[in-house]
Amino acid sequence: MKISIITPVYNREDCISRCIESVAIQAEGVEHWIVNDGSTDATLSIVRQFADKYPHIHLLTYECNAGVGAARNAAIQKCTGDYILFVDSDDYLAENAIAFIRTTIKESPSYLHYLFATNGRMPFYETYHLLEQKQTVLTYFNWLRGKVGGDFVHVMNRGMLQKFPFNEELRIYEETNFLKLYRYSKEQLFTNQIIVYTELNRQDSVSLQYRLNNSRAIRLEYIALQNIIYDFYDDYVAAGALAQIHERIRKYRFLAIAVNDYRDDELIPKNQLLQVFRILKLGYLMRMFIIIHSHIKYMFKK
């Protein structure tokens, strides 16, 4: 069983070596695709040194930063493994992680999508009853109903993953893609075992980019929500997850005001309040409110 590991990297000269070395010590039957996403520091030089040393490492490079989605898509089309594992550049594999993945797949070979734990999310998993067990089968409807959520280590069948390329426009908003993968695979096997360690509290963490602290972030989340609502609305209804989809629609309406999008949209009610916002161009005030609220939430989290 061959496993392809994909690592996009942008300006991580301080930690990329740790990531690469954690793979190299367990690289039998593994290929490691590292995508330099327009780094401007010494990252590319470091990766090249490792690529010259280890034959399992393959390097792709972008001259300009294209985002995680584009980097992953490029490697997904090149890799040859039976399964694909994403390992971020500031993460590193646990000891014997590859052997554990192989054992899990061999013992339960009928799944297209396997989920494992990461150290930074262990307290979060405990808030979901389904994730308390050592191993459990998740369904597409579990995700829609909010019975499970959060970040996981994903190990996916290469053929399945190639059917659903990441949305490169949205860059970091991956939920639209993962919902498609959950729908296609129908069931996913979660094993509550840490196979990837994440460096916590990095100030350049990708997760911080989800903060709605600027106009561009607000617009991207608006587009992501729009995609989710229109692509998965019927599935939410079929799953009986009406509260979940209505909450997404509520947030979508606020973001529509913030980005001044008042086009003919069946999700946005034609009431007088929205007309006032449109005529007076008050989207700016909504944007400021969202940005200030995001900053306050971040400060309390710290």
* pTM exceeds 0.85: yes
Domain extents in the chain: 3-197, 211-300
Residue count (the chain): 302
In angstroms, the CA 193 to CA 107 distance is 15
The pLDDT, as a whole number, for residue 133 is 87
In angstroms, the CA 68 to CA 87 distance is 12
What fold characterizes domain 3-197?
Spore Coat Polysaccharide Biosynthesis Protein SpsA; Chain A (3.90.550)
Q: What is the rounded radius of gyration, in angstroms, for the C-alpha atoms of the chain?
A: 21
In angstroms, the CA 72 to CA 56 distance is 18
Give the CA-trace dihedral at 63, 68, 72, 75, to 10 degrees.
20
Dihedrals phi, psi of 188, to nearest 5 degrees = -130, 140
Closest CA to 29 of 11, 7, 2: 2
The pLDDT, as a whole number, for residue 73 is 95
CA angle, 93 as apex, 92 and 98 as ends, to 5°? 155
The pLDDT, as a whole number, for residue 107 is 97
The pLDDT, as a whole number, for residue 207 is 47
Six-digit token pair at 162? 């190639």
Six-digit token pair at 8? 């996009």
Q: Which residues contact 19 (CB under 8 A, 6 or more apart)?
A: 7, 9, 87, 88, 89, 90, 91, 92
Q: 3-class DSSP state for residue 231? A: helix
The pLDDT, as a whole number, for residue 271 is 60
In angstroms, the CA 86 to CA 5 distance is 6
Q: Which residues contact 216 (CB under 8 A, 6 or more apart)?
A: none
The pLDDT, as a whole number, for residue 210 is 46
The tens place of each residue's pLDDT in the chain, 302 residues long, gives: 999 999 999 999 999 999 999 999 999 999 999 999 999 999 999 999 999 999 999 999 998 888 999 999 999 999 999 999 999 999 999 999 999 999 999 999 999 999 999 998 888 888 888 898 899 999 999 999 999 988 899 999 999 999 999 988 876 678 999 999 999 999 999 999 999 999 876 555 554 444 566 778 888 888 999 999 999 999 999 999 999 999 999 888 888 888 877 666 677 666 666 667 666 667 777 777 777 767 676 565 55
Q: Are the CB atoms for 287 and 299 separated by under 8 Å? A: no
